[in-house]
């Protein structure tokens, strides 16, 4: 437990605690200079000068950016997360204006840099700055600057005049932010700002285990329940379901289901209820607000991120379903904005993201054109670089220079191109009544107010020439020519032109911009010019409009036509559909060249994110779910004692942590040293000989009175040494992970004031679902089950508290403690077994996580199967005999020779073929001379060996009989084979009962020949058992326990270092 620290105040400006960035656009416009952390640097500098003049402090040379004053007056009293946030903005100029207004008369900011010229428009850097991460894959995207410019011109058209030249200024990995993150590549040239990002497949072929995005307990508040109710929630790609429990029987029928199609929005974060998430369902006056309450703020933040991302991607997939298929080279985001069309730049609008710039883009206004009157207010784009760069921080200077240089040219020569590909922003759901075709027509008609009298609609992609809208749709009916475009602000651009108001339709072509378009001449209104991305598309549009225009001239319409309507209104629906064709790509799409997914992934992986800020990041939608945010390197120390199965999971976790850039040390028994170091993981010794404890546990039922009577005498010196060894081994830890059986870690973490996580292979947290694994097999008595954990904890603490508190005072130099001070129920606990084997109880909170098994493949270095074993297995298959494995790991089995003899008899009796591992027969025993030596006399049905890797063997056999260790149980279940368990001590009885309850195996009651033979026969002949084992195996193989564990550690790292007694829950 960490020493007491002040509770962190909620940061109400955090992005994840708002509905979206777009919600702040109005405030951004009307409140251009809100206070930020960076502004405190300036104030600190002024206060420092005042105090020095007043004689309160010594006069010294102050830093220009106010860093000295900030450090002395503010920073030293900030908590860790506040300090991290301050550090992240310290690199930027403290006194730079939040908004930089761009105009022809703008002056260069004096405080930007000492190197900035005093000229109004300084000579800016001409050598391009290129920031590219190194990746092992194809690097065809590494283009030369002139190649980048040529590709931008080919895709979006030229912006430079004949006597001018467009040059590259910056290429950097960046992101577009709008409810979600889209990672891509930013290009800044002398004339434009461009952004490209590739997208993942919208509907990947996921296995069942991965179709659930997130699951966990929550308290549901909704009108259909008279009171709030604890439920098990699951978020999938198209719905949210609430169940009575996480068990199979509790998930047969959901208590309620919310389709994402009906979700209007996730309501903004409420600082008064930081653990609540509220969603709005429906659009009518009888809207429903559902609220879910989670156990921790961290969990609520994570759910909000995942729910927002799932809702966004669902709408993206629905739009794809409504439209024709989009070519692969168009499955991306593209943006090209001339620099002279950007009116304002604001950095640090969101304190947690200092490199995100809010760019305000204004329509092109001219005296002879009002075609952009549908855009009544500026649009805002939120864009930033992944890593800080000087050029990006001074983007306003390049914009000012471009505006000054290009001021004599009309703005209509600088079109803005924005294409979100298949994505859509600000969408609200539609009713799903009817089939897909009726939904498409309803969407179009509802957006453009086209009634049933318009029986036929023709729709194609188009864009208003010179407008700041994303690609929209030209809709032609019998009586109207309409246009509908979704902007990247919450408004639509809509034109609904009666055919009778049309005078003519003419084609045009601009070779300068390589555009093909049509001009709609409208009576009494300015002309509307639409451009298309392909000549054939323009020609068909021209023919369609000409046809309805000629038809209207020949007929006298009795209907009263409406005037041209051009309005920018709040969107009722942005699910755009095309009844004929999808988006036709331009001559060449640069998205896959500039921003391949491999580059975006490498950029995200290279970014170090402080753990206290990770949950504030929105969901990144164009990276695989398995990607973990990069964190600054830490030293993880894993403290565990016990058998090989207790150590092996930490090796698997340690290898993954090393891949993430961390260093790892495993503290355990000396006999595992060579094995651990063989994986290039450091080992330190603690815990003595594990065999002695195992022998005592086998000879006397664990946690029995007899066990304590015999063990206390020898246990006390062992515990004293364990505590001392553990302290010496863990002194340099940054993060401490501990199996609770080691007992020392929670106290060491408190002394070092470092994050502490409890990780274990068996349930250790109080629940009413099953008793403590050391006390009893599972029973149907909730009261007994809960009480068993209380009894276990109190007995263990009473037996050890005297020694532990003495050690705390003398060695750790901290005060005595008790069970209340340890606050064990608030410890973040990660269980490395599968929820398919032990579903998470509803009375376990969000800080208790079942991650899935931490499997270590190929645990024995360079193991090669013996040729005679392969030959023996082939013969068994040729003979049509099932193959089973029998072994009890490193357990100290009493009378091992007798056990071997009985096993052999049972194998022969059940007519199976058995691979028998004799590991138990060589540990801490003397040969039983009363049993005839069978060496060399084993029957051909048996193949004897010392040990064999389970990950290699189990997928190749039909069943396994073992001791029921957590790791071995997980290995046999993962292989999808029936699992037979003969327990000896501890949690092995628990796992035997779990396997039997699952129907994936049996608990063997004894080592009598008849019991073993009967179990082997059932395991190899029962179809139901084999099918259930296969189903459980498929679920386990779909999990990634190590990834889930690291994600949990990253999520809860700040919380894990706090004083648990100060936490509310």
Question: Tokens in use for 482?
Answer: 């309409």
How many angstroms separate the CA atoms of 30 and 8, rounded? 30
- 694 half-sphere exposure, CB direction, 13 A CA radius: 27
Give the DSSP letter of residue 771: -
Mean pLDDT, to the nearest integer, of 23-42? 44
Q: In Å, how far are 485, 869, 897, 958 from 901, measured between CA atoms?
A: 80, 21, 6, 22
Q: What token pair was written down for 350?
A: 């969101």
Q: In b/e form, how buried is each residue of 1003-1025, taking b as 16+ CB within 10 angstroms?
A: bbeeeebebbbbbbbbbbebeeb
Q: Which residue has the higher pLDDT, 553 or 369?
A: 553
CA distance 1008 to 1005: 9
**pLDDT value at 943 more than 90:** yes
Mean pLDDT of the region 50-56:
55
635-716+725-809+1052-1062 folds as Rossmann fold (3.40.50)
3-state secondary structure (DSSP) of residue 480: strand
923 vs 982: which has the higher pLDDT: 982
Please enumerate in sequence order all residues whose Cβ is within 8 A of that of 461, keeping only pairs 6 or more positions apart, or say none: 471, 472, 473, 474, 532, 533, 537, 578, 581, 582, 583, 584
Span 32-58, mean pLDDT? 53
Residue 312 vs residue 955, higher pLDDT? 955
d(C-alpha 467, C-alpha 337), whole Å:
11
Residue 375: the pLDDT is: 37
Length, in residues, of the chain: 1065
How far, in Å, CA of 244 to CA of 241, rounded? 10
The CATH number given to 99-197+331-419 is 2.30.29.30
Is pLDDT of 539 > 50?
Answer: yes
Instruction: Judge whether residue 9 has pLDDT over 70.
Output: no
Of 421, 464, 253, nearest to 333 (Cα)? 421
From residue 962, alpha-carbon distances to 763, 969, 988, 999 in Å are 20, 8, 10, 17
Residue in the structure block whose two tokens are 């290129």? 130
List the beta bridge partners of residue 884. 914, 959
Higher-confidence position of 563 and 194: 194
Give start-end residues of each CATH 2.30.29.30 domain in the chain.
99-197+331-419, 208-322, 437-582
* Range of weakest confidence among 597-606, 785-794, 852-861: 597-606
Q: At what angle do helices 896-910 and 1009-1021 cross, to 10 degrees?
A: 40
pLDDT-based confidence at residue 50 (cuts at 50, 70, 90)? low
Q: Is the pLDDT of residue 811 over 80?
A: yes
Given the structure tokens 């015999």, which residue do they identify? 710
Q: How far is CA 896 from CA 12, 893, 925, 930, in A?
A: 65, 6, 8, 12
Strands 212-221 and 192-198: unpaired
Looking at residue 820, its pLDDT comes to: 67
Tell me: the pLDDT tens digits for 271-317?
899 999 988 887 554 566 778 999 999 899 899 988 988 888 887 77
**HSE value, Cβ hemisphere, 13 Å, CA-based, for 85:** 23
* Predicted pLDDT of residue 859: 87
Mark 53-90 as b/e (b = at least 16 C-beta within 10 Å). eeeebeeeeeeebbbbbbbebbbeeeeebbbbbbebbb
- The mean pLDDT of 633-641, rounded to a whole number, is 95
More confident site: 203 or 930 = 203
Task: Provide φ and ψ at 735, rounded to 5°.
Answer: -140, 135
Q: Where in the chain is the domain with CATH 3.40.50.2000?
A: 635-716+725-809+1052-1062, 867-1038
| Cβ contacts of 252 within 8 Å, gap of 6 or more | none
Q: Which CATH architecture has domain 437-582?
A: Roll (2.30)
Mean pLDDT of 213-221: 91
**Residue 769 in contact with residue 850, Cβ under 8 Å?**
no
Fold of 208-322: PH-domain like (2.30.29)
Q: Is 936 helix (H, G, I), strand (E, B) or coil?
A: coil
Query: Apex CA 497: angle with CA 493 and CA 499, to 5°?
Result: 155
Higher pLDDT, 98 or 612: 612
DSSP string, 38-91: HHHHHHHHHHHHHHHHTTSS------TTSHHHHHHHTGGGS-HHHHHHHHHHHT
Bridge partners (DSSP) of residue 464 are 530
Q: How confident is the model at residue 483 (pLDDT cuts 50, 70, 90)?
A: confident
pLDDT for res 847? 93
Between 508-512, 540-544, 769-773, the lowest mean confidence (pLDDT) is in: 508-512
Q: How far apart are the C-alpha atoms of 640 and 687, rounded to whole Å?
A: 8
Asked if 491 contacts 568 with a C-beta cutoff of 8 angstroms, the reply is yes
Tabulate helix, strand, coil % of the chain (nearest 5): 35, 20, 45
Output the pLDDT for position 1.
44
Of 268-282, 590-604, 868-882, the one with minimum mean pLDDT is: 590-604
Residue 797's pLDDT band, with cuts at 50, 70 and 90, is: confident
pLDDT confidence band for 1023 (50 / 70 / 90): very high
> What order of strands is seen across the sheet that includes strand 635-639?
682-685, 663-668, 635-639, 735-738, 756-760, 829-831, 848-850
pTM above 0.85, yes or no: no
- Predicted pLDDT at 20: 38
Query: Lowest mean pLDDT: which of 269-278, 484-493, 822-831?
Result: 484-493
Q: Per DSSP, what are the bridge partners of residue 278?
A: 291
Place of tokens 């005297």: 802
The count of other CB atoms within 10 Å of the CB of residue 551 is 12
Residue 714 CA, chain-centre distance (Å), reads 48
Res 806: pLDDT:
95
Tokens encoding 474? 């030209």
What is the pLDDT, as a whole number, of residue 333?
85
How is 545-564 classified by DSSP, letter by letter? HHHHHHHHHHS---S-PPPP
**What fold is seen in the domain 867-1038?**
Rossmann fold (3.40.50)
Mean pLDDT computed over every residue of the chain? 77
Task: Return phi, psi of residue 757, to 5°.
Answer: -125, 140
Buried b / exposed e across 363-378, counting CB within 10 Å, b at 16+?
Answer: bbeeeebebbebbeeb
Q: Which pLDDT does position 749 carry in this prediction?
A: 95
pLDDT per residue as tens digits for the range 886-907: 998 766 667 778 888 999 999 9
Q: What is the mean pLDDT of residues 649-674?
A: 95
Question: Is the per-residue pLDDT at 623 higher than 70?
Answer: yes
The CA-based angle 732-827-270, given to 5 degrees, is: 115
Pairwise CA distance, residues 431 & 339, whole Å: 41
434 vs 445: CA distance, rounded Å: 15
Residue entry with tokens 């368990």: 981
pLDDT-above-90 percentage for the chain: 34
Is residue 841's pLDDT more than 90? yes
* Minimum mean pLDDT range among 7-16, 40-49, 157-166, 502-511: 7-16
Q: What is the pLDDT of residue 719?
A: 86
Chain segment 671-716, per-residue pLDDT in tens: 999 999 999 999 999 987 766 666 655 555 555 555 666 666 667 8
**At residue 269, does pLDDT exceed 90?**
no
Q: What is the pLDDT of residue 886?
A: 95
Mean pLDDT to the nearest integer, 613-634: 78
pLDDT of amino acid 195: 94
d(CA 782, CA 792): 16
* Interval 83-120: pLDDT, tens: 554 554 454 433 333 333 333 333 333 333 333 333 34
Q: Is 488 exposed, middle or buried (0-12, 13-18, 19+ CB in 10 A)?
A: buried
Give pLDDT, residue 699.
56
End-to-end CA distance of the chain: 15
pLDDT of 610 reads: 65
Q: Are strands 515-522 and 525-532 parallel, antiparallel or unpaired?
A: antiparallel
Q: Work out the average pLDDT over 338-346.
A: 89
CB 997 within 8 A of CB 934: no
Confidence check: pLDDT of 356 > 60? yes
Give the torsion sign (CA, 394, 396, 401, 406): positive
Give the chain's count of helices (H) and strands (E): 28, 38
Using CA atoms, how far apart are residues 34 and 347, in angstroms rounded to an integer?
A: 11
Residue 576: exposure state from Cβ atoms within 10 A (0-12, 13-18, ≥19): buried
Q: What is the pLDDT of residue 754?
A: 96
Please give the structure tokens belonging to residue 115. Answer: 């190197």
């Amino acid at each position: 437990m960490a020493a007491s620290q002040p509770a962190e105040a909620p940061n109400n400006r955090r992005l994840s605690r708002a509905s979206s960035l777009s919600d702040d656009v109005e405030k951004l416009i009307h409140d251009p200079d809100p206070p930020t952390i960076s502004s405190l640097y300036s104030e600190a500098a002024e206060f420092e000068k005042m105090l020095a003049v007043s004689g309160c402090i010594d006069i010294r040379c102050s830093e220009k950016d106010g860093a000295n004053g900030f450090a002395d007056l503010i920073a030293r009293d900030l908590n860790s997360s506040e300090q991290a946030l301050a550090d992240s903005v310290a690199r930027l100029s403290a006194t730079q204006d939040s908004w930089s207004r761009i105009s022809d008369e703008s002056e260069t900011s004096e405080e930007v840099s000492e190197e900035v010229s005093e000229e109004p428009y300084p000579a800016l850097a001409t050598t391009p700055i290129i920031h590219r991460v190194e990746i092992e894959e194809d690097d065809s995207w590494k283009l030369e600057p002139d190649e980048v410019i040529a590709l931008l011109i080919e895709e979006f058209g030229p912006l430079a005049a004949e006597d001018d030249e467009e040059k590259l200024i910056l290429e950097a990995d960046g992101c577009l932010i709008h409810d979600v993150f889209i990672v891509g590549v930013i290009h800044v040239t002398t004339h434009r700002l461009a952004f490209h990002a590739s997208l993942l497949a919208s509907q990947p072929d996921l296995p069942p285990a991965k179709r659930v995005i997130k699951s966990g307990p929550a308290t549901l508040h909704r009108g259909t329940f008279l009171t709030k109710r604890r439920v098990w929630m699951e978020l999938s790609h198209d719905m949210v379901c609430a169940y009575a429990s996480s068990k199979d029987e509790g998930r047969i029928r959901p208590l309620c289901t919310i389709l994402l199609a009906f979700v209007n929005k996730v309501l903004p974060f409420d600082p008064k209820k930081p653990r609540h998430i509220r969603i709005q369902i429906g659009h009518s006056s009888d809207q429903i607000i559902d609220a879910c309450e989670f156990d921790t703020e961290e969990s609520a933040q994570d759910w909000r991120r995942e729910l927002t991302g799932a809702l966004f991607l669902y709408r993206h997939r629905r739009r794809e379903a409504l439209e024709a298929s989009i070519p692969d080279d168009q499955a991306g985001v593209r943006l090209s904005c001339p620099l002279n069309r950007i009116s304002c730049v604001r950095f640090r609008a969101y304190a947690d993201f200092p490199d995100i710039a809010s760019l305000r883009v204004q329509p092109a206004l001219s005296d002879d054109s009002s075609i952009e009157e549908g855009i009544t207010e500026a649009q805002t784009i939120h864009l930033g670089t992944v890593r800080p760069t000087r050029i990006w921080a001074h983007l306003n200077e390049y914009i000012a220079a471009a505006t000054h240089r290009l001021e004599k040219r009309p703005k209509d020569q600088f079109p803005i191109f924005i294409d979100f590909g298949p994505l859509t922003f600000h969408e609200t759901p539609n009713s799903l009544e009817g089939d897909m075709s009726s939904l498409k027509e309803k969407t179009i008609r509802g957006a453009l107010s086209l009634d049933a009298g318009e029986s036929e609609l023709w729709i194609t992609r188009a864009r208003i020439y010179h407008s700041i809208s994303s690609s929209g749709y030209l809709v032609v009916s019998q009586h109207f020519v309409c246009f509908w475009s979704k902007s990247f602000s919450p408004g639509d651009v809509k034109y609904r032109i009666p055919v009778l108001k049309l005078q003519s339709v003419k084609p045009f072509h601009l070779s300068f911009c390589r555009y093909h378009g049509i001009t709609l001449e409208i009576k009494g209104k300015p002309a509307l010019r639409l451009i298309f991305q392909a000549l054939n598309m323009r020609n068909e549009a021209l023919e369609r409009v000409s046809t309805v225009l000629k038809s209207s001239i020949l007929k006298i319409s009795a209907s009263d036509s409406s005037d041209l309507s051009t309005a920018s209104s709040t969107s009722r629906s942005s699910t755009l559909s095309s009844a004929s064709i999808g988006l036709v790509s331009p001559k060449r799409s640069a998205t896959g060249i500039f921003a391949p997914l491999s580059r975006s992934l490498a950029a995200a992986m290279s970014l170090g994110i402080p753990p206290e800020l990770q949950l504030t990041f929105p969901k990144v939608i164009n990276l695989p779910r398995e990607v973990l945010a990069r964190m600054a390197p830490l030293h993880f120390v894993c403290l565990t004692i016990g058998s090989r199965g207790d150590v092996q999971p930490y090796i698997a976790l340690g290898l993954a942590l090393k891949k993430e850039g961390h260093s790892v040390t495993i503290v355990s028994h000396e006999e595992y040293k060579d094995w651990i170091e063989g994986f290039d993981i450091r080992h330190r010794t603690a815990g003595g000989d594990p065999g002695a404890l195992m022998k005592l546990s086998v000879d006397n039922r664990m946690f029995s009175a007899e066990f304590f009577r015999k063990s206390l005498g020898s246990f006390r010196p062992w515990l004293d040494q364990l505590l001392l060894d553990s302290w010496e081994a863990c002194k340099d830890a940054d993060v401490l992970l501990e199996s609770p059986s080691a007992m020392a870690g929670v106290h060491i973490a408190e002394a070092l004031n470092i994050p502490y996580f409890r990780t274990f292979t068996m349930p250790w947290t109080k629940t009413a679902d099953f008793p403590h694994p050391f006390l009893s097999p599972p029973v149907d008595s909730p009261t007994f089950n809960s009480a068993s954990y209380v009894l276990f904890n109190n007995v263990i603490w009473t037996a050890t508290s005297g020694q532990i508190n003495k050690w705390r005072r003398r060695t750790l130099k901290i005060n005595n403690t008790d069970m209340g001070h340890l606050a064990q129920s608030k410890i973040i606990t990660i269980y490395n077994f599968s929820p398919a084997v032990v579903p998470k109880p509803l009375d376990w909170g969000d800080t208790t996580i079942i991650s899935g098994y931490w499997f270590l493949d190929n645990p024995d270095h360079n193991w090669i199967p013996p040729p005679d074993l392969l030959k023996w297995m082939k013969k068994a298959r040729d003979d049509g005999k099932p193959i089973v494995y029998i072994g009890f790991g490193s357990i100290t089995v009493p009378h091992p020779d007798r056990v071997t003899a009985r096993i052999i008899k049972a194998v022969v009796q059940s007519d199976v073929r058995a691979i028998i591992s004799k590991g138990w027969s060589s540990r801490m025993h003397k040969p039983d001379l009363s049993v005839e030596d069978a060496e060399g006399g084993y029957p051909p049905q048996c193949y004897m060996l010392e040990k064999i890797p389970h990950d290699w063997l189990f997928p190749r056999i039909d069943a396994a009989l073992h001791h029921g260790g957590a790791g071995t149980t997980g290995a046999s279940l993962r292989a999808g084979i029936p699992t037979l368990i003969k327990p000896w001590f501890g949690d092995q009885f628990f796992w035997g009962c779990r396997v039997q309850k699952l129907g994936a195996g049996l608990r063997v009651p004894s080592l009598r020949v008849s019991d073993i033979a009967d179990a082997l026969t059932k395991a190899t002949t029962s179809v139901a058992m084999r099918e259930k084992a296969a189903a459980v195996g498929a679920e386990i193989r779909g999990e990634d326990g190590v990834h889930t564990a690291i994600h949990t550690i990253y999520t809860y790292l700040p919380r894990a270092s706090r004083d648990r007694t100060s936490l509310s829950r």
